[in-house]
Amino acid sequence: MMTIDEKEKQALLAASATLARRKFLGVAGTVMAAAVVAPARAGSLADVPARQVGPSISVASDRSKYVHLKRVTEATPGKLNVDPGLAINSKTPLDKLVGSITPSDMHYERSHSGSPDLDPDRHQLLIHGMTRKELVFSMDELRAMPCVSRLYFMECSGNGWENWKNADPELTVQDTHGLVSMHEWTGVRLAYLMELVGAERNSTWMLAEGGDAAGVARSIPLTAEILDETLVAYAQNGEPLRPAHGFPIRLLVPGMEGNLSIKWLRRLKFGNEPFMTRWETARYTQLLPNGKARQFQLYQEVNSVITSPSGKMRIRPGYNRISGLAWSGRGKIVNVEISTDGGVNWRQAQINAPVLHKAQVRFHQDWTWDGRPTRIVSRSTDDKGHVQPDRESLIATMGENALFHYNGQQTWAIDADGRVTNVLS
């Protein structure tokens, strides 16, 4: 039998009288009731509900009527729960998910003119520019090519944007960090397509253009890393992409801001300088303290967030398991530390295996809360040596005008009543 850490066991048993309380399936945005749930207790078969008959075999397993998963819609930073027609994004319910993979229908959405449902029999991909041939590929052709499947996180560069300026105490972790997701992606390697069209060796940039009405288009520098990892993807978690995620094909540039992973991909053009689309001149630039705008800040830097306990949950004194997610666009997470005293002392969290390159990882730490107000916070480190900064250090570098790439440590305050609230640090 595996050995269970005796201290961990004793902490749990001692705390059993106040065990449990936060409800896994609660409705987002409501304050969790501090119900006193009966602890694990002596019992017999009479205590367990009777067996139940159920509906017959189905052709697709639906969710339980007791499970309520939905994304929250956002108009501008912090303007939440708006009519979907007015929203610019909708966010993954990180407070209700466990593990590291995101269900396909819960992947966050961000689009600039809605999500067209393109006909895969008509859709084509043009590859041209500095290439020996200008070729058009159908979906059947792309799907017949050699392919790979990889687990990668995807994150909007706007994730966490609320926290650049202020900390709304009404925000949940879905609100503050719900623009990140992880799937198993399947597609053709960009490098393979470049060989097919004979991309010229001195082409150093690539334009990728989407088939949505906005025609979102981005210039992508052809670094060794991007050439090695980028996919033209047609599947997520084993099934064809959902329309909101680029059906029938999208670009997938692992670890870089989500906006580079152009959805509804219709065109790749090779050149030797950036194409300077409005999506990288007027949009998706970073306003620096000196008033200048930084272009092509592409990496999603090392990041982490505690998903439980988190904003608007309520905990009770005693045993509490801290759980969260960590990721880095630079590589693999090698360490996550948690402070339960507002950043004074740090203790290493357990990281769930396998830990993969540019993938989200789930971390855990056991914690016994003494019932006094405190602040909990996580920080992650990747295999390139990057450490997630505290908010002060991040602001010192980037100023407070930046809108994108917030990766400051997320602090949750816990008051004497066990209420968990978003605070800046």
Per CB under 8 A, which of residues 338..397 are in contact with a copy of itself? Answer: 352-354, 356, 362, 364, 366
Q: Closest CB to a copy of itself among 56 and 290?
A: 56
Report, in Å, the least distance between residue 354 CB and a copy of itself. Answer: 6
Neighbours of 144 (CB within 10 A): 11
* Half-sphere exposure for 273 (CA within 13 Å, toward CB): 1
Is 85 near a copy of itself (CB under 8 A)? yes
Neighbours of 258 (CB within 10 A): 22
Is 89 near a copy of itself (CB under 8 A)? yes
Report, in Å, the least distance between residue 396 CB and a copy of itself. Answer: 34
What is the residue type of 303? N
Among 71, 250, 312, 386, indicate the residue that binds a copy of itself (CB under 8 A): 71
Is 136 near a copy of itself (CB under 8 A)? yes
C-alpha 370/C-alpha 381 separation (Å) is 28
C-alpha 335/C-alpha 387 separation (Å) is 9
Q: Closest CB to a copy of itself among 232 and 423?
A: 232
Report, in Å, the least distance between residue 49 CB and a copy of itself. Answer: 5
CB 373 within 8 A of CB 315: no
Q: Closest CB to a copy of itself among 86 and 396?
A: 86
C-alpha 146/C-alpha 152 separation (Å) is 19
Q: Which stretch binds a copy of itself (CB under 8 A): 71-79, 298-306, 375-383, 405-413?
A: 71-79
x/- binding map, residues 247-286, to a copy of itself, per CB under 8 A? xx---------------x-xx-------------------
Total of residues contacting a copy of itself (CB under 8 A): 147
Report in angstroms the alpha-carbon separations of 28 from 31, 32, 239, 373: 8, 9, 28, 24
Among 163, 186, 285, 407, indicate the residue that binds a copy of itself (CB under 8 A): 186
Is 61 near a copy of itself (CB under 8 A)? yes
CB 165 within 8 A of CB 372: no
Among 145, 293, 387, 424, indicate the residue that binds a copy of itself (CB under 8 A): 145
DSSP for 89-157, written as a single string:
EEE--GGG--SSPPPGGGS-EE-SS------TTT-EEEEEESBS--EEEEHHHHHHS--EEEEEEEE-T
Q: Which residues contact residue 46 at a Cβ distance below 8 angstroms, ignoring those fewer than 6 apart? A: none
CB 177 within 8 A of CB 305: yes
* Element at 181 (helix H, strand E): strand 180-189
CB 351 within 8 A of CB 336: yes
Is 189 near a copy of itself (CB under 8 A)? yes
Give residues 7-46 in contact with a copy of itself (rule: CB under 8 A).
8-9, 12-13, 16, 19-25, 37-45
Report, in Å, the least distance between residue 34 CB and a copy of itself. Answer: 12
Q: Closest CB to a copy of itself among 140 and 273?
A: 140
Q: Which residues contact residue 327 at a Cβ distance below 8 angstroms, ignoring those fewer than 6 apart? A: 153, 155, 180, 182, 300, 302, 303, 304, 333, 358, 359, 360, 361, 380
CB 340 within 8 A of CB 372: no
Give residues 282-321 in contact with a copy of itself (rule: CB under 8 A).
319-321
Is 70 near a copy of itself (CB under 8 A)? yes
Tokens of 70: 């939905």
Give residues 149-168 in contact with a copy of itself (rule: CB under 8 A).
149-151
In total, the chain counts a number of residues equal to 425
Q: Which stretch binds a copy of itself (CB under 8 A): 233-241, 377-385, 397-405, 417-425?
A: 233-241
Is 215 near a copy of itself (CB under 8 A)? yes
Give residues 101-130 in contact with a copy of itself (rule: CB under 8 A).
101-107, 109, 111, 113-126, 128
Q: Which stretch binds a copy of itself (CB under 8 A): 3-11, 162-170, 272-280, 289-297?
A: 3-11
Q: Which stretch binds a copy of itself (CB under 8 A): 2-10, 166-174, 282-290, 376-384?
A: 2-10
